[in-house]
Chains A and B, each alone.
Chain A
Amino acid sequence: MTPLAEVRLEEVNGALVAHLAGEVDLSNVEVVRATIIDRVSAETDALVLDLSETTYLDSTGVRLLFELTQRLHARRRQLRLVVTDAALVRRVILLTKLDEQVPLHDSVEDALAALQSPDGSDS
């Protein structure tokens, strides 16, 4: 059967960009988590999670995002989210106040640019 979600990873300027396409729920959150964590190494400066193609995200997925945040911050790394304004999942993110801990960006380019300046703004 087709997986519920797909994670595509690429490195850009020392930052890891994870494109998450599909749905994230209780059934696959662990796999998604493992996939991302495996790629986060000592060399990774920052992580950009691209949720622009995420079609479903509920509290389960948000929990993963929170965990990633804590993990990266403990290691003094940055985490940024890419969520389009119109996206349905944005509602969920705002509801859970995740945006207060992680900056949101409209696009991957924006997120990457913000990483360069220390007090990156969230658009």
Chain B
Amino acid sequence: MKRRARGGAGARFAELLGAMADAAIVVDGDGRVDQLNAAAEQLLGVTADEVSGRSLFALVSGGTLDDLRARMVRAGGLPYTAHGKLETTVSAQSPTSLELTVSRTNIGDHLLVVARGMGDADTERVLTEERLLNDALRRQAMQQTAVANLGRAALLGRQVDDLLNDAVTAVAEIFEVDIVVVLELDEAAGAFVVRSSQGSPASWIGNESIPVRDDSPAGLTLRTAAPVAFDNLFDDERFVPPPRLRELGVVSGLLVPIRGRQRPYGVLAAHSTRTRPFSDDDVVFLRGVANVVAAAILNRKAEDELREALEKERVVRLESESARRALAETVARLDTLLNHAPIGLAFFDLDFRFLRVNGPLADVDGIPVEQHLGRTLEEVSPNLWPTLEPTFREVVRTGEAVVGIEVGGQTKARPGAERHFLVSAYPVAEPGGGLIGLGAMVIEITDRKRAERRAQLVAQASDVFSSATDVDELLDKVCDIVVPTFADSCHVYLLPTTEHRRRFAISHADPELREQLVEAEHRWPFDPSNTGGFGSTLLERSTLVREITDDIRRRASVGEEHLDMISRHHAVSAMAVPLGSAGTPIGVLLLLYTEVSGRHYDEADLDLAEELGTRLEQAIRSAFLAAEAERARDHLMLLARVGELVTIQLDSTARLERVAHLVLPTFADVCAVYVREDDGYLRLSAYAHVEPGRELTPDQLANTALLGPDSAAPPVEAIRTGNPVLLTTVPAELVRALLRDPEEQRAARDTAIRSMLTVPMFDPDDGMLGALVFGYAASGRRYRDDDVPVAQEIARRVAPAVENAIRFEREQATAEILQRSLLPEELPELDHVELTARYLPGTSGVKIGGDWYDVVRIDDGRVVFAIGDVVGHGVRAAAAMGKLRHTLQFLALEGLTPAQMLDRLNGYVCAAEGEMATLLVVAFTPATGSVRFSSAGHPPPLVRDADGTLTFLPGGRGMPLGASGSAQYADDHAVLAADSVLVMYTDGLVERRREPLDVGFLRLGEAVSHAPDDLERFADHLLDELLEQRGPSDDVAILVVRPVSRHGALELFLPARPDELAPLRRTLNDWLARIGASQTEAFEVTVSVNEIAANAIEHAYSTSESLFQVEGSFDGATVVFTVRDSGRWRDPRPNGDRGRGLEMARALMDEVDVAPGPEGTEVKLRRRLRGAARG
């Protein structure tokens, strides 16, 4: 292809051009042809050379080429198309119409034109299309312009109503329709309201309400929220033509919804009275208008709201401004008032910041007025705020004043001092009624409070002092009422005296610290001679230490540890007041403030402390006196009880035990009773200890070593001197000195007696009976001088009981000995006469009575029997009896008759003014069987013949001995045949209280008639039948005699008397020797039999003159002994040594069989004799 030569780019472009199938022409900015390719040459019918440099428009013209030209000049961006007619200068084959497409190139301002030929028909069509398109474009441009205008108007703030009018006008103009309406939706009414319209009656606007119907175009639009178009209202199955539309002659229309914020605002409707189709562009346009309208409406709404909010804000701002102004005015008015008032006044805002404060109140706080302002009450007065805060808040809340709140605490103006104020708070309101602040009035009432507190404290103290009876309780209570109102820590110390021990009480607001202080007191007891260098002045006068310094603390301590303790107490201020008159104070009252409260004492406080001290001292003295009185009362009661006790009938040991326990714990913690034995040794007879675990058992009591007369123990000393021994304190050395035995020392230490008082027990007749020892142990009490008389009085009251007991026991011993010696030692062996006797003493009192019996053998073979009853009991009766007996023996041997003997005896008894007695004397001649008898008031003897006939012998009765000096006595006679039994007895056998004597005699007869033959059994039978099981209250003696011939090997009936043992031994020895036993065997057998015999005697001892039987037999190898006793087991001797005898018998014999039976015990002893084999 032909072209002008160009640079590189141009060369490449030329290549491209050449390759293109379409006709392509390159023109410069002026429209001059620069290049063209072969296809273009062909289309245009020219060659490149012909047209190069010539204007394209010379070739092509017409159509829209003018535009093209203009555009080309403008050199716009995108490719565009134009049509034009080709000039005839080209060949006839060239088409007459061309379509040219122009686009830029990247070669300067050159353009590329691509041409295409078109036929005529095409050209026509194209032109029409162009025209239509242009029309459409023109319409579109108008629409867009209209929408843009509306939008601009809306932005510029055109009123909505005006805007709506503009909108309907624009739509009507652009659509070229008759009727355009804006329908606003009234949702509540379910209807449209015409807001703006063109082409409908003006009266509709704002008035006409059109119901929303689903079958109307507007209803459909609303419902679908989408555009609705119709060509023919009457031929559209969607609708029923609404009346108004019909009225207006509407045929076609287009409607779009107008959006709202949450729901549609309404509908924009364009109606035509002809069939006018609406295109998509129309819809777009109408929608655009509707959007502008919607935006404008929304905008208007937002604007309205904003305006409202702004309005409100403006109002509020105005109101608060007015309130502040009112406050400031009020405050200014109060200023004058404040500064002239004599009391503290302050004014606060609702945050409780000081707005105003006057001089007086500022002084209280201790900071200048200016420095109050703007600060809260809490900042300025932190100590008082906690009390005031609730009140202030209440005032604010209720709007009511609160009057008279008491506030107390320390202030910054005067630290350490406790001050009190009376505060009233009241609300302050502005004229309109709203609360704007708080006012307060403050009056200082410190002095008044102090006086009040003083009175209160004194009243409390008086209460305590008058109600407390115990000193310890008193001290504790005082400390309690003083803390914490008047002190943080309170100490009371009482000095020790001889009568009262050291005491103290401590209280502290902090219980733990109190414990420590109490412990410290135990370790370092308060010593007034060494307290902070004050020395004795602490006891002389009251002392105020306003500020406690380290120096003072150091001087008050007794060592580093103590100083440390004191320092931990953190006491900062103190007062000390002596209790009691100067010179003889009984103690000290110490009051302290510590860091806890930080308060300090002043002179006014000291006055109050002194008053407390005075009252306390009085109360203490009263309490001591009361305690003394009670103690004295207790002692008196104790003495009364001791006195009572001693009269009670108890055996002596039990009585002593009772006394020892009675004095506990009133008068002792430990009590011991010592009884003096014959040799001067002291035996511990009773012992009581207040702690149950420390009592002594009877065994321990019995095994306690006796105190020797040379011992240094207080009881021995008391007895030796006859004076009490008071040991206020018992030193340990004394214990060691008294008791040599370590066991006993330990025991003494265990009882831990701290104080001991010993008094002797003394009887005018019997001298020293023993000693009473009282001791205080764990209770910590001590004996004092005024305890001694009490102890002595106790001893005096107890002594008779002890003495009685001793005497009684002695008498018992004596009587026992007497008894054994006064009754016959043995019943004599009588040829051809069996004899047995029984004696039972009465159960009351001393075991010896006045009954007695005797058997006197006379040389000529006669026997004199006597049985009698001396009036009375005890030793006197026994002695009288003895005398009678011996006299009778003498008289009998003289050969007097029974009556003569009685006569003589009566004379003696009357002359000696001795005890009266009954007596029966029987003289018996065995050879003849004759009996001569006489009775001095004694019950008649009874005879049972061999055939069983019973006969009482009532004859020969005379008066009892000693009844009358002129009594007459007579003899009577009887005969006692062989094998008949004579029974003599005393009235104890037949007499029973509340029973006639005759009954007793009958009973006796009954018993005798049924009694067995064996004399021993006979006697036992009588006792069994006639006596109560437990024995007679009166003595009983029986003497039973039977004349009979003796037969048998060794057969002995012996009275159960110890004196029978020796003769028995002799008889045994003789008999054993005769049967051939060796000396050793004889000894051993004798011992064994003797043991059993002694058993028998012991069984019978104190019961009777019973007999026991010893039988012996020998079969040439074995000797057999049988010992039978009829002993009744009564009052066994306390010692168990009799068992030893039986053991011994068993050891010495081959066999010993003990067979107890209802009528007595039978013991059989066997032994093989070897000696016999030898001999």
Contacts and interface: CB of A to CB of B under 8 A. Distances in A.
Interface of A: 4, 23, 25-28, 30, 40-42, 56, 58-60, 62-63, 66, 74-76, 88, 91-92, 95-96
Contacts of A56: 1065, 1087
Given A42-B708, A63-B1140, A25 B680 contact: no
B234 interface: no
Contacts of B1147: 95
User: Which 7 A-B pairs have CB atoms at the shortest separation, nearest pair first?
Assistant: A27-B1058, A26-B1058, A59-B1141, A63-B1137, A59-B1140, A27-B1059, A25-B1061
Contacts of B1143: 59, 95-96
12 contacts: A25-B1061, A25-B1065, A26-B1061, A42-B710, A59-B1091, A59-B1144, A60-B1141, A63-B1140, A74-B705, A75-B681, A75-B706, A95-B1148
B819 to A, nearest CB: 12
Given A42-B709, A58-B1090, A88-B1080, A26 B1098 contact: yes
B1138 interface: yes
Interface string B837-879: 0000000000000000000000000000000000000000000
A96 B680 CA distance: 32
B1094 A59 contact: yes
B1083 interface: yes
A25 B1090 contact: yes
A96 B1083 CA distance: 16
Contact of A42 (B680, B1065, B1084, B1138): B680
A62 B1137 CA distance: 9
A30 B815 CA distance: 13
B679 interface: yes
A26 B1094 contact: yes
Nearest to B1088: A58
Interface residues of B, number: 35
B501 to A, nearest CB: 41
A75 B1065 contact: no
Contacts of A41: 679
Contacts of B1061: 25-27
B782 interface: no
Contacts of A66: 1137
Which of A58, A62, A63, A66 has the most chain B CB atoms inside 10 A of its CB?
Answer: A58
Given A27-B1057, A27-B1061, A58 B1087 contact: yes
A13 B678 CA distance: 24
B708 A96 contact: no
A63 B706 CA distance: 22
Contacts of B1080: 88
Given A59-B1144, A96-B1144, A25 B1062 contact: yes
B505 interface: no
A98 to B, nearest CB: 10
B817 interface: yes
Given A42-B680, A88-B1080, 10 more contacts: A4-B1062, A25-B1094, A27-B1060, A56-B1087, A59-B1144, A75-B706, A75-B708, A88-B1083, A92-B1144, A95-B1143
A39 B1087 CA distance: 29
Contacts of A88: 1080, 1083
Interface in B1089-1127: 1090-1091, 1094, 1097-1098
A101 to B, nearest CB: 14
A25 B1147 CA distance: 19
A62 B1098 CA distance: 16
B322 interface: no
A4 B1060 CA distance: 12
B1097 A26 contact: yes
B1091 to A, nearest CB: 6
Contacts of A92: 1087, 1144
A58 B1061 CA distance: 11
A58 B1144 contact: yes
Contacts of B1135: 63
B305 to A, nearest CB: 125
A30 B1080 CA distance: 27
A8 B1061 CA distance: 23
Contacts of A23: 1062, 1065
Contacts of A27: 820, 1057-1062
Contacts of B1091: 58-59
Interface of B: 679-681, 705-706, 708-710, 817, 820, 1057-1062, 1065, 1080, 1083-1084, 1087, 1090-1091, 1094, 1097-1098, 1135, 1137-1138, 1140-1141, 1143-1144, 1147-1148
A42 B1058 contact: no
A4 B1065 CA distance: 12
Contacts of B1084: 91
Contacts of A25: 1058, 1061-1062, 1065, 1090, 1094
A42 B1140 CA distance: 31
Given A26-B1094, A59-B1094, A60-B1094, A40 B1065 contact: no
A114 B1004 CA distance: 65
A28 B820 CA distance: 10
Nearest to A64: B1137
A30 B817 contact: yes
A58 B1062 contact: no
A23 B1094 CA distance: 14
Given A27-B1059, A42-B679, A75-B708, A58 B1137 contact: no
Contact of B1137 (A30, A59, A75, A76): A59
A119 B929 CA distance: 70
A28 B1138 CA distance: 16
Contact of A40 (B679, B817, B1062, B1144): B679
B132 to A, nearest CB: 163
Contacts of B817: 30
Contacts of B705: 74, 76
B722 to A, nearest CB: 19
A88 B1048 CA distance: 31
A28 B1058 CA distance: 8
A41 B710 CA distance: 12
Nearest to A66: B1137
Of listed B681, B710, B1080, B1141, residue having the most chain A CB within 10 A: B1141
Nearest to A91: B1084
Contact of A95 (B680, B1090, B1144): B1144
A3 to B, nearest CB: 10
Nearest to A62: B1140
Given A25-B1062, A42-B679, A63-B1135, A58 B708 contact: no
B681 A58 contact: no
Contacts of A91: 1084
A61 to B, nearest CB: 11
Contacts of A62: 1137, 1140
A92 B705 CA distance: 30
Contacts of A63: 1135, 1137, 1140
A96 B705 CA distance: 26
A2 to B, nearest CB: 10
B684 to A, nearest CB: 11
B698 to A, nearest CB: 16
Contacts of B1144: 58-59, 92, 95-96
Nearest to A56: B1065
Nearest to A30: B817
- The listed residue with most A CB atoms (<10 A of its CB), out of B681, B708, B1062, B1091, is B1062
Contacts of A40: 679
Contacts of B706: 74-75
Contacts of A60: 1094, 1141
A63 B1065 CA distance: 19
A51 B1097 CA distance: 25
Central interface residue in B680, B709, B1061, by most chain A CB within 10 Å:
B1061
Nearest to A29: B1058
Contacts of B1097: 26
A42 B1059 CA distance: 33
Contacts of B1090: 25, 58
